[in-house]
Structure 1
Amino acid sequence: MVEAFMLIQTEVGRAEVVAKQLAALPGVSSSEYVTGPYDVVIRVEAASASELESVVVPSVQQAMGITRSLTCPIADGVHT
Protein backbone atom coordinates (compact mmCIF):
# COMPACT_ATOMS: atom_id res chain seq x y z
CA MET A 1 0.00 0.00 0.00
CA VAL A 2 1.31 3.44 -0.98
CA GLU A 3 -0.02 6.52 0.80
CA ALA A 4 0.38 10.27 0.41
CA PHE A 5 -0.97 13.51 1.78
CA MET A 6 -2.29 16.02 -0.72
CA LEU A 7 -2.28 19.70 0.23
CA ILE A 8 -4.93 21.54 -1.75
CA GLN A 9 -5.75 25.17 -2.42
CA THR A 10 -9.31 25.96 -3.49
CA GLU A 11 -11.27 28.83 -4.91
CA VAL A 12 -12.22 31.33 -2.21
CA GLY A 13 -15.00 30.04 0.01
CA ARG A 14 -15.03 26.51 -1.48
CA ALA A 15 -12.86 24.57 1.02
CA GLU A 16 -15.69 22.79 2.84
CA VAL A 17 -17.49 21.83 -0.38
CA VAL A 18 -14.28 20.57 -2.00
CA ALA A 19 -13.32 18.57 1.12
CA LYS A 20 -16.71 16.83 1.15
CA GLN A 21 -16.52 16.16 -2.60
CA LEU A 22 -13.03 14.65 -2.31
CA ALA A 23 -14.00 12.44 0.64
CA ALA A 24 -16.27 10.46 -1.71
CA LEU A 25 -13.56 9.68 -4.27
CA PRO A 26 -11.99 6.19 -4.49
CA GLY A 27 -8.55 6.15 -2.89
CA VAL A 28 -9.25 9.04 -0.51
CA SER A 29 -9.02 7.76 3.07
CA SER A 30 -9.54 11.11 4.85
CA SER A 31 -10.42 14.66 3.88
CA GLU A 32 -10.34 17.78 6.08
CA TYR A 33 -10.70 21.47 5.40
CA VAL A 34 -8.14 23.50 7.34
CA THR A 35 -6.82 27.02 7.86
CA GLY A 36 -3.44 28.27 6.69
CA PRO A 37 -1.74 28.35 3.29
CA TYR A 38 -3.73 25.29 2.15
CA ASP A 39 -7.48 24.88 2.35
CA VAL A 40 -7.92 21.10 2.28
CA VAL A 41 -5.66 18.22 3.36
CA ILE A 42 -6.47 14.71 2.21
CA ARG A 43 -4.82 11.35 2.69
CA VAL A 44 -4.84 9.10 -0.36
CA GLU A 45 -3.86 5.49 -0.89
CA ALA A 46 -3.36 3.00 -3.70
CA ALA A 47 -1.96 -0.49 -4.22
CA SER A 48 1.14 0.90 -5.98
CA ALA A 49 2.97 4.15 -6.64
CA SER A 50 2.02 3.84 -10.29
CA GLU A 51 -1.70 3.60 -9.45
CA LEU A 52 -1.42 6.52 -7.05
CA GLU A 53 0.25 8.65 -9.72
CA SER A 54 -1.88 7.65 -12.69
CA VAL A 55 -5.34 7.12 -11.15
CA VAL A 56 -5.87 8.57 -7.68
CA VAL A 57 -4.00 11.89 -7.90
CA PRO A 58 -5.47 12.87 -11.31
CA SER A 59 -9.01 12.11 -10.11
CA VAL A 60 -8.47 14.43 -7.15
CA GLN A 61 -6.94 17.18 -9.28
CA GLN A 62 -9.95 17.18 -11.63
CA ALA A 63 -12.40 18.05 -8.84
CA MET A 64 -14.21 21.35 -9.31
CA GLY A 65 -12.93 24.23 -7.18
CA ILE A 66 -9.29 23.17 -6.86
CA THR A 67 -6.74 25.76 -7.93
CA ARG A 68 -3.50 24.02 -6.88
CA SER A 69 -2.35 20.81 -5.21
CA LEU A 70 0.85 19.40 -3.78
CA THR A 71 1.29 15.64 -3.35
CA CYS A 72 3.51 14.47 -0.49
CA PRO A 73 4.15 10.70 -0.57
CA ILE A 74 4.56 9.18 2.88
CA ALA A 75 8.09 7.81 3.12
CA ASP A 76 7.56 5.63 6.18
CA GLY A 77 4.73 5.58 8.66
CA VAL A 78 5.23 5.49 12.40
CA HIS A 79 3.09 2.81 14.01
CA THR A 80 2.40 2.81 17.74
Structure 2
Amino acid sequence: MGNKNNLLARAGLGMPTHMEINGNTEAVVDGCSGVLEYDSDVVRIRTGKLVVRFTGRGLTIKCLTAESLVVTGFFTGIEFLV
Protein backbone atom coordinates (compact mmCIF):
# COMPACT_ATOMS: atom_id res chain seq x y z
CA MET A 1 0.00 0.00 0.00
CA GLY A 2 2.90 2.37 0.69
CA ASN A 3 4.00 2.33 -2.99
CA LYS A 4 0.50 3.19 -4.11
CA ASN A 5 0.40 6.22 -1.78
CA ASN A 6 3.81 7.37 -3.04
CA LEU A 7 2.60 7.16 -6.64
CA LEU A 8 -0.53 9.14 -5.78
CA ALA A 9 1.52 11.79 -3.97
CA ARG A 10 3.95 12.15 -6.90
CA ALA A 11 0.99 12.51 -9.26
CA GLY A 12 -0.36 15.31 -7.05
CA LEU A 13 -3.41 13.30 -6.04
CA GLY A 14 -2.52 12.53 -2.42
CA MET A 15 -4.31 9.95 -0.33
CA PRO A 16 -8.10 9.81 -0.71
CA THR A 17 -9.92 11.22 2.30
CA HIS A 18 -12.36 9.15 4.33
CA MET A 19 -14.12 10.53 7.40
CA GLU A 20 -16.32 8.78 9.94
CA ILE A 21 -18.27 10.89 12.41
CA ASN A 22 -19.60 9.15 15.52
CA GLY A 23 -22.36 11.29 16.98
CA ASN A 24 -21.12 14.75 17.89
CA THR A 25 -18.17 13.54 19.97
CA GLU A 26 -15.70 11.77 17.64
CA ALA A 27 -14.39 12.08 14.08
CA VAL A 28 -11.93 9.67 12.47
CA VAL A 29 -10.18 11.15 9.42
CA ASP A 30 -8.07 9.05 7.05
CA GLY A 31 -6.14 11.02 4.44
CA CYS A 32 -5.11 13.86 6.73
CA SER A 33 -1.99 15.63 5.49
CA GLY A 34 -1.45 18.08 8.34
CA VAL A 35 -2.78 19.89 11.40
CA LEU A 36 -3.13 23.64 10.72
CA GLU A 37 -4.71 24.78 14.00
CA TYR A 38 -5.29 23.02 17.29
CA ASP A 39 -6.80 24.19 20.56
CA SER A 40 -9.72 23.19 22.77
CA ASP A 41 -12.24 25.13 20.62
CA VAL A 42 -10.94 24.62 17.05
CA VAL A 43 -9.13 21.86 15.15
CA ARG A 44 -8.30 22.66 11.54
CA ILE A 45 -6.72 20.00 9.30
CA ARG A 46 -5.66 19.68 5.66
CA THR A 47 -7.12 16.79 3.66
CA GLY A 48 -5.84 16.93 0.10
CA LYS A 49 -7.15 20.15 -1.45
CA LEU A 50 -9.68 20.78 1.32
CA VAL A 51 -9.37 22.09 4.86
CA VAL A 52 -11.72 20.62 7.47
CA ARG A 53 -12.50 22.78 10.50
CA PHE A 54 -14.00 21.26 13.65
CA THR A 55 -15.40 23.67 16.24
CA GLY A 56 -16.71 22.83 19.68
CA ARG A 57 -15.72 22.41 23.31
CA GLY A 58 -12.99 20.29 24.83
CA LEU A 59 -11.57 19.23 21.46
CA THR A 60 -8.52 16.98 21.53
CA ILE A 61 -6.55 14.96 19.01
CA LYS A 62 -6.58 11.45 20.48
CA CYS A 63 -4.55 9.69 17.81
CA LEU A 64 -2.29 11.15 15.13
CA THR A 65 -0.38 9.19 12.50
CA ALA A 66 1.23 10.21 9.21
CA GLU A 67 -2.08 9.84 7.35
CA SER A 68 -4.91 9.87 9.90
CA LEU A 69 -6.20 11.35 13.12
CA VAL A 70 -9.03 11.09 15.63
CA VAL A 71 -10.63 14.25 17.01
CA THR A 72 -12.79 13.97 20.13
CA GLY A 73 -14.79 16.44 22.19
CA PHE A 74 -18.20 18.08 21.82
CA PHE A 75 -18.63 19.22 18.19
CA THR A 76 -20.77 22.26 17.47
CA GLY A 77 -19.72 22.57 13.83
CA ILE A 78 -17.81 20.95 11.00
CA GLU A 79 -16.83 23.03 7.95
CA PHE A 80 -15.28 22.05 4.64
CA LEU A 81 -13.17 24.91 3.24
CA VAL A 82 -11.48 25.22 -0.14
Return the TM-score normalized by structure 2.
Answer: 0.30
Return the TM-score normalized by structure 1.
Answer: 0.30
The structure, 1 or 2, with the larger RCO (C-alpha pairs under 8 Å, 6+ apart) is: 1
Structure showing the higher strand proportion among its residues: 2
Structure showing the higher helix proportion among its residues: 1
